[in-house]
Amino acid sequence: MLVLDRDAREAAYEQIASQIREAIATGTLPPGCPLPGVRTLASDLGVNFNTVARAYRLLEEQGFVTIRDRSGAEVATPAARASRQARAALERELWEVMARMRQAGFSERDLRKAAESCLERLKE
């Protein structure tokens, strides 16, 4: 069940993508699981279908879903191994987040606890 916060700073498509990403990462939505049609989900959430389409495209770019012409989107099977390029890009993103957390006042211990907490949430 997706829920949009109309008062959030985060755009609606980002909220949709974030919630679907979390459901995939935790195993709630397993590989091969079909996602609701763009128009159906847009109607359910009370948003323009382009908002949902944008969320699905973002998730496809990030490797979370596969979009098939006219037959909808489904959860992608996780890669067996990250490519060198993907690994480098994602490590840069992780570094940037951790640097922001450190600047916000997280100690090294706090950073480790946060990382461990995130790892526990991921379904192996």
The secondary structure of residue 77, as a DSSP letter, is P
CB 45 within 8 A of CB 52: yes
Q: Phi-psi bin for 70: left (phi > 0), alpha (psi -120 to 50), beta?
A: left
Q: Is residue 2 part of a domain?
A: no
Range of the domain at 98: 84-121
pLDDT of residue 46: 96
Q: What is the pLDDT of residues 26-78, one digit of tens each?
A: 999 999 999 999 999 999 999 999 999 999 999 999 999 999 877 789 999 99
Same domain for 50 and 16: yes
Same domain for 104 and 53: no
CB 45 within 8 A of CB 61: no
The answer on pLDDT for 124 being more than 60 is: no
Same domain for 71 and 16: yes
What are residue 58's phi and psi, to 5 degrees?
-60, -45
Helix ranges (H only) for the chain are: 12-25, 38-45, 49-61, 84-103, 108-121
Same domain for 59 and 16: yes
Task: Give how far Cα 43 sits from Cα of 22, 28, 51, 95, 111, Å.
Answer: 22, 22, 11, 38, 40
Number of structural domains found in the chain: 2
Tokens describing residue 80: 């067996």
Q: What is the pLDDT of residues 103-115, one digit of tens each?
A: 999 999 999 999 9
pLDDT of residue 87: 93
Same domain for 51 and 91: no
Same domain for 46 and 71: yes
Q: Is residue 3 part of a domain?
A: no
Q: Is residue 1 part of a domain?
A: no
- Please state the separation of Cα 11 from the chain's center in Å: 14
